[in-house]
Amino acid sequence: MPSLERISIDPAVAHGRPVVRGTRMRVADVLSLLAAGATAEELLADYPYLTPEDVQACLEYAATQADHTVLNAS
């Protein structure tokens, strides 16, 4: 997913939590705001350094984190 290149993880930035590349805006903060009912348009108005592609990348990052392999022990 090319948009995931917009997400970076660096121990020197936000204690290694995933952020939108080039900012200190954590992916978790974007997701929390969306979950609380904010629209992408509101986020972009409140945080002008974010782009629509950044918001989409945060959603894609969350989707990849939620998808995991399930192993059944037999």
pLDDT value, residue 3: 82
Percent of the chain with pLDDT over 70: 97
On the question of pLDDT at 11 being above 80, the answer is yes
pLDDT tens readout for residues 40-51: 999 999 999 999
Full set of structural domains in the chain with CATH: 2-66 (1.10.10.10)
pLDDT value, residue 1: 61
> What phi and psi, each to the nearest 5 degrees, are found at residue 18?
-65, 135
Residue 30 C-beta-side C-alpha neighbours within 13 Å = 30
Q: How many CB atoms lie within 10 A of CB 34?
A: 17
pLDDT tens readout for residues 13-55: 999 999 999 999 999 999 999 999 999 999 999 999 999 999 9
CB 29 within 8 A of CB 7: no
